[in-house]
Amino acid sequence: MVRERLAPRIEKKPGPTYRRFFGGALAVVVAGLLLQTTTVPAVEGPSSKAKLLMGAATADITPELPAALTGFQTVRIARTIQSPLTANVLALESRQGERTVDQAILVSCDLCVIRPGIQEEFRKHVAVRLPGFDVGKLFLAATHTHSAPVLKQDQYDEEQYGDATQPKDYLPFLYDRMAEAVVRAWDGRSPGAVAWGLGHAVVGHNRRVVYADGHAQMLGKTNDPKFRHVEGYEDHAVDVLGFYDDQRQLKAAAISLAGTAQMSQGEGVVSADFWHDARERLRQRYGKGLCVLGFSAPAGDQCPHLSYRKKGEARMDRLRGLSRTQELGRRIAEAFFDVADVMAKDVRTDVPLVHLVRQVDLPQQIITEAEYAIARKVCADVDAKNERKGWDTWVRRLYGGVCQRYVAQQQGDRSYRLEMHVLRLGDVAIATNPFELYVDYGVQIQARSPADQTFLIQLASPLDDAYYVPTPRAVAAGRFSEKVMDNYSATVMTNIVGPEGPQVLVDRTVETIAALWRAPPGPSAAPSR
Ligand SMILES: [Zn+2]
C-alpha cells in the first residue's frame, strides 16, 4: 500500500507542528489543493509585492590529511588534496513588508551522499544560531564526489582507517564549518534579485552498456563484438539560477545537471571533482566571492566516464591542456556564460518564494524468498572467513542489507519514507529527491511539470544504502546473484525502491509543483519561530 502524507512525523511530535512546516494561510490553501488536485481554481498570477532577500556563503570542508575516503568497495586513504571540498550555501527569504512569506536554505556539499542522521544532526547543530528560521526548510545535497570523506564510522572495517581522518573526527568539523557558512549566509541576506536560464553541456553519460544477449553492465566494455547499445537516455540540459545583489552583481549561481561529480574517483585524492574546475572558471569572470552551488539532477544511470570514443576525447583534452575534470568544468562554465547575458534581460526582484517540505512513502522493492536465500548464503560465506579482505566488508553490508529488509518486509514494513523539498521561485520549480534516480524519472518530471523551468536535485536529504532507483528496462537486463556486480544498480541489492516506487515519486513531485502553480503565491503567516 502506498501512503503519502504531509510531514506526518512532524505532526506526531510535540513542539514542531504542521504549521511550522507550511506556515499560515498559504499552507492551508496548498494543503487543500494537494488533497483535491482535480478541482482547483485557475492559477492566479504571481504576487508583485514580495521582496526577495538573498544571502550566500562558502565553507571549506576539506578534511585534514590523511583522510579516509568513501565511494568505493574498499576504503582509500587520501594523502593528497587535488582540490578543496566546499559547502556552498544559499539563503532565501521572501518578505511582504516586515512579514516573512517563506524561507529556504540550500546547501550544496562536495560530499558523496548525505548519510542518514547527518542532515538531522546538522539541523540541530545550527538551529540555535538561526533565530527566525525553520531548520526544516534547510536541506543538504551532495555533488556525489567519490573523493570525499567517509561519513559513516562503520562503512568499512575500522582498523583500516589507521590514523586517517574518519567520521568521528570529521563530522564535528563538518558541522562547525557548515554552520558558520549557513549563519553567515542567513545573517547576511539582503534585498536581491534572481534570474534563471537553461543551457546545455555534455557532462553525464549513460553508463549502462547492453550486450547481444540483452544483459547490461555498468561501465561494461564496448570494444566487444557482443556490445550492442547504451541502455538509455542522457540529458544534457543545464538549469541555471543566478542571484544578484542590489547593484546587479552576480553573487551566487546554482547549477543543476544530470551528472554526478565522480570523474576523479580512481585517484585516491581529496577532490571536489569537476565542480571545483567549474567554480574556478566562473570566479575568474565574476570574482572570487562568487558562491557556486553545484547540484546533480536525477542521474542514477549516468556518470562522467566515457563508454566509447575515449581516445578521441582524451586527445582533445591533451590539445586543450586540460585534465578531464577541468574539461568538464569548462563545459559547465561555458554553459553558464552562454546563458548569463540572455537571462540577465529578465532579472526579477519581486518573485514569489514558496517552500514545501513533504514526507513521502514509496513502496519498497519486495525481496523474494529466493533473493533472500542468495543474500543469506553470501553473508554466511563472508562470516565463515577467518579474515575479511578486499571487498568482503562492502559485500557483507550490501547482502546483509537485503537480509534485513527481507525480514522487515515479512513483518509488514514495506514502504520507504523520504523527505522531499519543492520550491517555487518565480517561474521556476525546484524539487529534490534523495536517490540516485535514473534519468528517465527526471525527464518524466520535466515533461509533466507545469513550471516554466524545473530545477531538479537528487542526492538531497538523508539516504540509506541501496539508493539507486532503476527503470523496469534496467531491472530486466539482469538478475540478483551471488556475484555482487551482476546488474549492479538494478537489483534488490542496491534498490530499496524498485521500479514501481519512482512512479509514485514522480506523481507526488509533479502534483506538489502543480499545487504551487495553482495556489496564489503568498502571503502566508510568518514561521513559528
Ligand atoms: Zn556513486
pLDDT in tens, 66-80: 999 998 899 999 999
pTM above 0.75, yes or no: yes
Q: Distance, CA 477 to ligand 1 centroid (Å)?
A: 20
Task: Quote the cell numbers at residue 6.
Answer: 504531509
Where along the chain do its domains lie?
43-360+416-518, 367-413
Q: 527 pLDDT band (50/70/90 cuts)?
A: very low
Query: How many angstroms does the Cα of residue 38 sit away from the middle of ligand 1?
Result: 39
CA 245 / ligand 1 centre spacing (Å): 36
Q: What is the DSSP string of 267-323?
A: G-SB--THHHHHHHHHHHHH-TT-EEEEEEPS-TTEESS-SS-HHHHHHHHHHHT--
CA 63 to chain centre: 21
Q: How confident is the model at residue 13 (pLDDT cuts 50, 70, 90)?
A: very low
> How far is the centre of ligand 1, averaged over its atoms, from the C-alpha of 115 (Å)?
13
| Amino acid, res. 192 | G
Average pLDDT over residues 226-240: 98
Q: Average the pLDDT over 42-65 and give the result.
A: 79
Q: Say how far apart CA 191 and CA 50 lie, in whole Å.
A: 11
In the reported structure, the alpha carbon of residue 260 is separated from the centroid of ligand 1 by a whole-number distance in angstroms of 8
Asked if pLDDT for residue 336 goes beyond 80, the answer is yes
Distance separating the N- and C-terminal Cα atoms of the chain = 36
Range name among 122-136, 221-235, 316-330, 507-521 with the lowest pLDDT average: 507-521
> How many A from CA of 112 to the centre of ligand 1?
7
Kindly tell me if the per-residue pLDDT of 519 is higher than 50: yes
Confidence of residue 36 (pLDDT cuts 50, 70, 90): very low
The tens digit of pLDDT for each residue in 458-469 reads: 999 888 777 999
Residue 271 has pLDDT above 50, yes or no: yes
Rg (CA), the chain: 23
Res 97: pLDDT: 87
Residue 464: the pLDDT is 79
- Determine the distance separating the centroid of ligand 1 and the alpha carbon of 345, expressed in angstroms: 38
Distance of CA 230 to the CA centre of its chain: 24
Please report which confidence band the pLDDT of residue 49 belongs to, taking 50, 70 and 90 as the band edges. Answer: confident
* Predicted confidence (pLDDT) at residue 309 exceeds the cutoff of 90: yes
User: How far is Cα 451 from Cα 382, in angstroms, rounded to an integer?
Assistant: 50
Q: Give the H or E element holding residue 478.
A: none
Burial 7-20 (b: 16+ CB within 10 A, else e): beebeeeeebeeeb
Ligand 1 centroid–CA 219 distance in Å is 12
| 262 Cα: distance to centroid of ligand 1 (angstroms) | 7
Predicted confidence at residue 301, as pLDDT, reads: 98
Residue 134 Cα to ligand 1 midpoint, Å, equals 31
What backbone torsions phi and psi does residue 393 show, to the nearest 5 degrees?
-65, -40
For residue 123, the Cα-to-chain-centroid distance in whole angstroms is 17
Ligand 1: centre distance to CA 301 (Å): 10
pLDDT higher than 70, residue 305 = yes
The count of other CB atoms within 10 Å of the CB of residue 448 is 15
Tell whether the model's pLDDT for residue 370 goes beyond 60: yes
CA of 400 to the centre of ligand 1 (A): 20
Specify the pLDDT at position 44: 36
pLDDT at 512 > cutoff 70? yes
Identify the pLDDT of residue 466. Answer: 76
The 3-class secondary structure across 353-389, one letter per residue, is EEEEEEEEEEECCCCCHHHHHHHHHHHHHHHCCCCCC
Across the range 208-218, mean pLDDT stands at: 98
Residue 42 confidence (pLDDT): 32
Ligand 1 centroid from CA 420, angstroms: 21
> Which residues, listed in sequence order, are joined to residue 138 by a DSSP beta bridge?
105
Cα of 144 vs centre of ligand 1, distance in Å, is 6
* CB-based burial, 296-318: b 16+ in 10 Å, e otherwise: bbbbbbbbbbbbeeeeeeeeebe
pLDDT in tens, 340-355: 999 999 999 989 999 9
